[in-house]
A and B are shown apart, each in its own frame.
With several copies, the nearest count.
Chain A
Amino acid sequence: MVSSTTRQTATDLDVAAIRADFPVLNQEVRPGAERLSFLDSAASSQKPASVIETLDDYYRRYNANIHRGVYQLSEEATQRYEAARHLVADFINAPSARECIFVRNTTEAINLVAHSWGRRNVNAGDVVVLTVMEHHSNLVPWQLLAEEQGAELAFVRMTPEGRLDLDHLDTLLTREPKLVAFSHVSNALGTIHDAVEITRRAKVAGATVLIDGAQSVPHLPVDVQSLGCDFLAFSGHKMLGPMGSGVLWGRRELLEAMPPFMGGGSMIRKVELSGSTWADVPAKFEAGTPAVGDAIGLGAAVEYLSELGMDRVQAHEHGLAGYAFARLGEVPELTIHGPKMTEGRAAVFSFSLGDVHPHDVAAILDSENIAVRAGHHCCQPLMRELGDVATTRASFYVYNDHDDINRLVAGLGRVRQIFGSA
């Protein structure tokens, strides 16, 4: 289903050709206005026609509940649903597709682990290590767990530059935490953490390791086997897939030992009124009718990204990050939060513009058809570290180019003009 535009030959992504694949980016958002510069992919990406058409095809041709129907539509739906699981597994180099559980989003994936693995393995007095930079979705589930179990949360500090303080990690690891959970890439600062090294140290200390891959899987080559982690959570909707799609990968031994999260249809082996036994993974964790079309759509998204090549996606965004640094640096009174260099940094820029509130920045940019995000980015504790309530964030993806950055810079000039700081 991926468009036939040839991109294989070039080393760089052909952004014009890619953009042509995304209907949202090719519409007139406001009559007569400039095209949309969509700079909020870290919240949720746009979807290529191949993904939209996969959904459409599903609903028009073979929509049915899976795993149960002995009829043709259901057989096709089941096969494609499971094929999507294999595509996802290959994409993150999972040893087995059965280790990939379809969920709604990263949040559900992490809550699944917190409920199922957590309540069995984290007990009174146990320590769970997180970082001060976590998204609420990788913080609140552990707060809820810790409160319930009487466990304690400890937070790896960050350096003034917005990187994790690995010495502090080592200190916390001496407390022999049951779990170390951290985001691979910070959605607020763009920092790419050294996930391999953090995982290695955590494993040496005997911890189970969960990586929040919401901002890494869409943007870098991610290989669970070379990461060495135990769980990886990510959102399909941030990587060109449908809303409502996400994945939890877990090591088979762990998943098999875990009790169910939700109970219901499809996750059982045998049900009696007095008690039940559970189906094999992944079915054990997919209770009820899944979002079949969305999972299949995620498969199409993975195919699209694979065709682009994740190495090239990463290189493309690295290039954008460099250009964004240079251009944003020209805007007076603009402060970029997080690492001040492109190394170990994703194409996600949180910034402050003088004392203009991010909502006002975003609203004025919106009037120029530039979509950025303003707020705490679900990282209130981190915002407090930055001494701010909110920032403006521009995040980039495969369909963005230098022109988007130029427009952003021009738009910021307009903001300064309106707020009288120019």
Chain B
Amino acid sequence: MADSLYKEIILDHYRSPRNKGRLDPADYSHEDVNPLCGDEIVLDLRVKDGIVSEVAFEGRGCAISQAATSILTEMIEGRTVEEVKALTKDDLLEELSVPISPARMKCALLGLKCLKAGIYGVGHMHDDDL
């Protein structure tokens, strides 16, 4: 299980996260925390002409949450806001391509929760609504 979970894609994104940092100013910005472990992520977005022009995230957390958020930022850059809204958790999980157990699901989805809550302008998103 450890071998299947900690594949190179995860370890690579964890060690060298893409789009790490903050954007100031940002068009959309959201921070969320995984109440089970206290991991925090803040995700910033710039949108130009309806297209995600820049994205950045900061935070600390496990390899899964950091890698998943890093991968997520790559997925959305250059996409339209509509495309980003249509993004589902299954899309992200597919991109991750490692088996995420229910207990780690919250880790894997934390970045996506920030993204969705930010872009919809709601205070907080529930896993089930992703």
Contacts and interface: CB of A to CB of B under 8 A. Distances in A.
Given A79-B102, A389-B60, A383 B38 contact: yes
B25 interface: no
Interface string B43-76: 0000000000000000011111100000000000
Interface residues of A, number: 36
B11 interface: yes
| B15, B35, B36 interface centre (most CB from chain A within 10 Å) | B35
Contact of A367 (B1, B64, B124): B1
A376 B36 CA distance: 7
Nearest to A366: B1
B64 A98 contact: no
A359 B104 contact: yes
Nearest to B61: A357
B105 to A, nearest CB: 10
Interface stretch (A64-72, A167-175, A197-205, A299-307): A64-72
Interface stretch (A243-251, A338-346, A414-422): A414-422
Contacts of A70: 103-104
A283 B64 CA distance: 23
A375 interface: yes
Most chain A CB within a 10 A radius of its CB, from B1, B6, B103: B103
Interface in B69-103: 101-103
Contacts of A376: 37-38
B10 to A, nearest CB: 9
A77 to B, nearest CB: 10
A380 B2 contact: no
B33 interface: yes
A375 B38 contact: yes
A28 interface: no
Contact of A418 (B6, B33, B36): B6
B39 A389 contact: yes
B37 A389 contact: yes
A359 B33 contact: no
B41 to A, nearest CB: 11
Contacts of A78: 102-103
B38 A390 contact: yes
B63 A360 contact: yes
B24 interface: no
Interface in A74-125: 74-75, 78-79, 96, 98
Contact of A380 (B5, B38, B60, B126): B38
A270 B6 contact: no
Contacts of A280: 124, 126
Contact of A357 (B15, B63, B126): B63
B42 interface: no
A68 B35 CA distance: 10
A389 B41 CA distance: 12
Contact of A360 (B1, B36, B62, B126): B62
Contacts of B3: 367
Which of A74, A78, A269 gathers the greatest number of chain B CB atoms within 10 Å?
A269
B39 to A, nearest CB: 6
The 10 A-B pairs of least Cβ separation, nearest first, read: A359-B62, A357-B62, A367-B2, A367-B1, A389-B38, A375-B37, A364-B2, A376-B38, A269-B35, A75-B103
Interface of A: 67-70, 74-75, 78-79, 96, 98, 268-270, 279-280, 283, 357-360, 363-364, 366-368, 374-376, 380, 383, 389-390, 414, 418-420
Given A270-B33, A367-B1, 18 more contacts: A70-B104, A75-B102, A75-B103, A279-B35, A280-B124, A280-B126, A357-B63, A358-B37, A360-B63, A360-B64, A364-B6, A367-B5, A368-B2, A376-B37, A383-B38, A389-B40, A390-B38, A418-B11
25 contacts: A67-B36, A68-B36, A70-B104, A74-B103, A96-B128, A98-B128, A270-B33, A357-B61, A360-B62, A360-B63, A360-B64, A363-B1, A363-B5, A363-B104, A364-B6, A367-B2, A375-B37, A375-B38, A383-B38, A389-B37, A390-B37, A390-B38, A414-B2, A418-B2, A419-B6
